[in-house]
Amino acid sequence: MNSLEGKVIVMTGGAGGIGEATARLAHAEGASVVITDREAGPVTAIAESLGERALGLAVDVTRREDNERMVAAAVDQFGRLDGAFLNAGIEGQVGPFDSRTDAHWQQVFDVNVHGVRLGAEAAIPALRKAGGGSIVITSSVAGLRGAAGLSPYVSSKHAVVGMMRCLAAELGPDGIRVNTLNPGPVDNRMMRSIEDQANPGHGDEIHAMFASRIPLGRYVTNEECAAMAVMLLSDAAGGCNGNTYLVDGGYCAQ
């Protein structure tokens, strides 16, 4: 049997990268998926390419009503909610700690922290109604370690690890498991943005420097992250609650 057969899952940040890969794998594993992102176009196209059991929806995670609409769509279309993959995030700008504006800190925390909070708040009543489920929050190795030049992002990714631990403690008795996915550098748009900001015009040098610090010698892929997210959303992870799950090629082992 497929690992997510019969399950209904909502996802944020699903227009590309880790989110799209997870939507596609979750669907292939039998789930009905509500795939969301800031704009309807890309997620609607992904949902249409999947066919039945897939719906694309515009959701800005910083808006409470959007998160509630996402969960309502899952229940209306597919009858229940079993899982939430709270994955939307922004990298923000790269630069020294004391050069970041108030507005910049606010923006990164609005999406990366409050977006996750609002997604969890919207999902919890429906997950309770279903008798339990799984929430997977995309943090990062930046949620476990510091990194020069990325202070708002790193701080926000640490914050959701704390949020996950509180949620796991509170929701465990209801059968709702909560964990974080913590990818290392992923070979995708977000890392290319960070590389290009860190060394404009020479992002490939930053890429090579990061890759040399990873025991596998390369970035991980969207699909490798998706495999972990889908496992955590499935009953195979029935004993997993309140923990951080690294997909980092060994980056944090050293």
Is 151 a binding residue for ligand NAD by CB under 6 A? The answer is no
Distance CA 136, CA 83 (A): 8
221 class by beta-carbon count within 10 Å (0-12 exposed, 13-18 middle, 19+ buried) = middle
231 Cα distance to chain centroid = 14
Straight-line distance from the first to the last Cα atom of the chain, in angstroms, rounded to the nearest whole number: 38
3-class secondary-structure state, position 61: coil
What is the set of active-site residues? 153
Stretch that binds ligand NAD, among 82-90, 128-136, 199-207, 234-242 (CB under 6 A): 82-90
Stretch that binds ligand NAD, among 86-94, 101-109, 161-169, 196-204 (CB under 6 A): 86-94
Distance CA 192, CA 198 (A): 10
Q: How far is the CB of 52 from ligand NAD (least distance, A)?
A: 24
Cβ atoms of residues 253 and 213 within 8 Å: no
Is 119 a binding residue for ligand NAD by CB under 6 A? The answer is no
| Contacts to ligand NAD from residues 188-207, by CB under 6 A | 188-191
Residue 129 backbone dihedrals phi, psi, to 5 degrees: -60, -35
Is 123 a binding residue for ligand NAD by CB under 6 A? The answer is no
Is 178 a binding residue for ligand NAD by CB under 6 A? The answer is no
Is 40 a binding residue for ligand NAD by CB under 6 A? The answer is no
Q: Which is nearer to ligand NAD, 29 or 224 (CB)?
A: 224
Q: Which two structure tokens, joined as six digits, stand for 213?
A: 């610090």
Cβ atoms of residues 88 and 12 within 8 Å: yes
Is 61 a binding residue for ligand NAD by CB under 6 A? The answer is yes
Which positions from 6 to 35 touch ligand NAD by CB under 6 A, shown as an x/- string? ------xx-xxxxx----------------
Rule CB under 6 A: which residues touch ligand NAD?
A: 12-13, 15-19, 37-38, 59-62, 87-90, 111, 115, 138, 140, 183, 185-186, 188-191
